[in-house]
């Protein structure tokens, strides 16, 4: 094997000439911003170390908790007219609350590697830890001083404000991490062990779908170079060379993508895992089979061993469906009440523009393949279909992606409505009727179903959504195939926490117009 070399002062790992060209071709998939500014290097120093990261998160949690409680007192005074005096007892409870929050969050692994925690898991940890901390404070209040009763409004407002601030600080850290990764800082150097192209492609497909760019892929280790992937990944050498690789370059993680399984392969796999453990290289095994819709890897409570279990998808579980539908009804009613001035202005603007109809109804495939008519504010000229059919070039572009970039049929009012996504407000009525959900796969027309292959039967088991995973992950910047993969990812991973994260991200995407149609 060619000798690898690394320059510890350089941002990029240096390979011999035989590998450098191939490494460069791989790194082009994640272009770096250069050079990194001082603030990015400073943040990388803080967030790149697990202890400094944990300390930063702990400080931010205490700050969020304290600010949230103070804000609850201010709001209570301004709205209800009550003035709460900051006594030593109140301060003692605030200190207790901060201690409870940090301890419970730590026990829930809230100070682990945030870069390896999905946003919905982070939200779950925040809400559960904060709620538990408030219950402990309430119990402490009743136990130590029954004569001083803290108003329940303080607890309710405090929980709302602190949860919001905790989420704000945590997701700000996630955003900053993504930015410094863009400069090539604090990325994890990873290698792939094995030459099973299908597993390798599946892994990077999943990372691309989630827009995760925290990995710096160095190459793959196998007994011999693979002809199928030689142009995609640099070959680093045989597994017997892994000790030399680990000595010359920093390897933060190894992904195992084995191409078969039998007695001999089992022994080979075990020996390779043991070698990685000896070299203190964290490793992960890749298996698209386990990560599909119907299987999960769990620790059996009786035998204490890891087993592959069949499981019911979250969207098929009665409790999830009940909570999701309840949330749909209450949220859509609230949004309808709050948005009536917008409805009035939009309807008047559309009518004044060309005197045509205000709403546009379009056939869509719903849950269990029931056809429904999705409502939108009309954003196109009244003869939009005729324009499309009479222009072969436009029609061909539309058939490829079911969207047109710079669509000439869109009116001036329509452009504003689409940019702000206000054209979709009438779909709140579809949600109330049970035809759609707040979060779900994007609604499609009947002609699109064939493009989903076998997934088309799985896809119709859930209501289409007003917003969804792909809408907050690139929107119009994603290809049609990527949208299909994002729909698959959502249905595989969906839970109420993921839905909440998507709902929280949606107004941010709409306000800043990133990727808006």
What does the domain layout of the chain look like in residue ranges?
17-32+188-288, 40-182, 318-512
Residues paired with 235 in a beta bridge: 220
Q: Is the pLDDT of residue 22 over 80?
A: no
Residue pLDDT, tens place only, 211-245: 667 888 888 888 777 776 667 778 888 878 888 88
DSSP letter string, 457-471: HHHTTS--EEE-TTT
Report the pLDDT value the prediction gives residue 30, as an integer from 0 to 100: 46
Cα dihedral: 130, 131, 136, 142 (round 10): 130
Residues paired with 256 in a beta bridge: 193, 285
Residue 210 pLDDT class (50, 70, 90 cuts): low
Residue pLDDT, tens place only, 33-86: 568 888 888 988 888 888 999 999 999 999 999 999 888 888 877 776 666 555
| Contact predicate 281/253, CB 8 Å | yes
Report the pLDDT value the prediction gives residue 6, as an integer from 0 to 100: 36
| CB neighbour class for 303 (10 Å; exposed up to 12, middle 13-18, buried from 19) | exposed
Report the pLDDT value the prediction gives residue 517, as an integer from 0 to 100: 40
Domain 17-32+188-288 has CATH 3.40.225: no
**Tokens standing for 328?**
């749909």
Q: Is the pLDDT of residue 299 over 70?
A: no
Q: Is the pLDDT of residue 439 over 90?
A: yes
Sign of CA dihedral 29, 35, 37, 40: positive
Instruction: Measure the CA–CA gap between 53 and 43, rounded to whole angstroms.
Output: 10
- Of 461 and 233, the one with more pLDDT: 461
Report the pLDDT value the prediction gives residue 507, as an integer from 0 to 100: 87
Average pLDDT value for residue range 470-482: 73
CA angle 498, 501, 502 (to 5 degrees): 90
Global confidence as pTM? 0.78
Residue pLDDT, tens place only, 88-134: 777 888 899 999 999 999 999 888 877 778 889 999 999 999 999 99
Average pLDDT value for residue range 264-292: 76
Half-sphere exposure in the Cβ direction for 109 (13 Å, CA): 10
Report the pLDDT value the prediction gives residue 29, as an integer from 0 to 100: 45
Residue pLDDT, tens place only, 1-13: 333 333 333 333 3
CA 503 vs CA 81, 156, 344, 438: distances in Å: 33, 22, 24, 8
Instruction: Measure the CA–CA gap between 381 and 389, rounded to whole angstroms.
Output: 14
Instruction: Measure the CA–CA gap between 352 and 325, rounded to whole angstroms.
Output: 37
Q: Which of 241, 200, 201 is nearest to 221 (CA)?
A: 241
Report the pLDDT value the prediction gives residue 1, as an integer from 0 to 100: 37
**Tokens standing for 12?**
């990029």
Q: What is the mean pLDDT of the chain?
A: 80
Average pLDDT value for residue range 291-298: 59
Highest-pLDDT range among 113-122, 315-324, 390-399: 315-324
Half-sphere exposure in the Cβ direction for 485 (13 Å, CA): 18
């Amino acid at each position: 094997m060619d000798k690898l070399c690394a320059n510890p002062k350089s941002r990029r790992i240096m390979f011999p000439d035989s590998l450098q060209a191939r490494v460069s071709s791989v790194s082009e998939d994640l272009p770096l911003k250069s050079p990194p500014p001082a603030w990015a290097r400073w943040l990388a120093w803080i967030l790149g170390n697990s202890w400094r990261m944990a300390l930063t998160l702990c400080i931010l949690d205490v700050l969020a908790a304290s600010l949230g409680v103070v804000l609850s007192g201010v709001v209570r005074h301004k709205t209800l007219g009550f003035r709460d005096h900051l006594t030593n007892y109140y301060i003692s409870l605030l200190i207790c609350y901060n201690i409870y929050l940090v301890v419970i969050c730590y026990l829930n692994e809230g100070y682990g590697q945030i870069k390896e925690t999905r946003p919905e898991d982070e939200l779950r940890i925040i809400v559960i830890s904060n709620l538990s901390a408030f219950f402990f404070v309430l119990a402490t209040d009743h136990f130590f001083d029954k004569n001083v009763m803290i108003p329940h409004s303080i607890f309710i407002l405090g929980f709302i404000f602190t949860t919001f601030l905790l989420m704000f600080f945590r997701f700000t850290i996630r955003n900053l991490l993504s930015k410094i990764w863009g400069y090539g800082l604090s990325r994890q150097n990873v290698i792939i062990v094995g030459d099973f192209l299908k597993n390798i492609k599946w892994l990077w497909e999943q990372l691309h779908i989630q827009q995760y760019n925290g990995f710096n892929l160095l190459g793959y280790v196998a007994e011999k170079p693979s002809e199928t992937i030689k142009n995609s990944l640099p070959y680093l050498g045989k597994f017997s060379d892994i000790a030399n690789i680990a000595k010359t370059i920093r390897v933060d993680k190894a992904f195992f993508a084995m191409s078969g399984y039998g007695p001999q392969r089992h022994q080979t796999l075990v020996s390779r895992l043991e070698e990685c453990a000896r070299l203190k290289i964290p490793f992960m095994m890749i298996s698209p089979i386990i990560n599909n819709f119907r299987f999960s890897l769990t620790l059996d409570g009786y035998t204490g061993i890891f087993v592959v279990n069949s499981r019911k998808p979250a969207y098929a579980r009665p409790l999830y469906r009940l909570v999701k539908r309840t949330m749909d009804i209450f949220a859509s009613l609230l949004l309808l009440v709050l948005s009536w001035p917008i409805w009035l202005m939009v309807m008047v603007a559309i009518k004044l523009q060309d005197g045509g109809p205000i709403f546009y109804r379009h056939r869509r495939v719903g849950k269990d393949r029931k056809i429904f008519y999705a409502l939108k504010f009309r954003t196109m000229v009244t003869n939009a279909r005729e324009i499309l059919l009479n222009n072969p070039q436009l029609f061909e572009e539309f058939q490829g992606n079911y969207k047109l970039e710079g669509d000439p049929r869109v009116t001036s009012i329509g452009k504003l409505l689409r940019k702000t996504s206000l054209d979709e407000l009438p779909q709140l009525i579809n949600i109330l009727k049970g035809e759609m959900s707040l979060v779900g796969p994007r609604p499609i027309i009947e002609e699109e179903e064939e493009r989903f292959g076998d997934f088309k039967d799985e896809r119709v088991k859930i209501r289409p959504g007003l917003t969804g995973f792909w809408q907050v992950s690139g929107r119009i910047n994603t290809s049609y195939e990527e949208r299909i993969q994002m729909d698959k990812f959502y249905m595989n991973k969906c839970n109420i926490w993921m839905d909440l994260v998507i709902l929280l991200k949606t107004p941010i995407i709409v306000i800043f117009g990133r990727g808006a149609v």
